[in-house]
Amino acid sequence: MARTLFASALMSDSKWRKLFTAVHDKCDFLDRMIVKFIDVDEPKQMRFPPDLRCPRAYMDTIEFGPVALRSIEWVEFNGDLTDLLGPWQFKSDIHHGRTRIFGYSGLQPSHNS
């Protein structure tokens, strides 16, 4: 589905896992995240960190059970995590005191209208 919606993928399963581990290790005060899935219109608030003791392509969540990492359009955390994200090439944005990390970029032309 992502290939039909977006021009390019910015994150792999390994990058999502690296991100969640780094944020958890350095920001142990975070206990929530907002996740926008590619096939769901409304972003979902979820417990953080997700459980990563499952097959590599998934994260396990209390709210929804196992979820494919490639289904994440973006994830958002409270606070400015710019310093934490510096060593990696995650595409991110800071807006209203929240850090959003993008999994995909550029909607396909047929989805821009």
pLDDT, one tens digit per residue, over 16-38 is 999 999 999 999 899 999 999 99
How far apart (Å, rounded) are the C-alpha atoms in residues 90 and 93? Answer: 10
Q: What confidence tens digit (pLDDT) does each residue in 67-106 have?
A: 999 999 999 999 999 998 887 889 999 989 999 999 998 7
Using pLDDT thresholds of 50, 70 and 90, give the confidence band for residue 51: very high
Residue 5 has pLDDT above 80, yes or no: no
How far apart (Å, rounded) are the C-alpha atoms in residues 57 and 112? Answer: 29
Alpha helices in 6-103 (DSSP H): 13-26, 82-85
pTM here is: 0.86
pLDDT of 42 reads 97
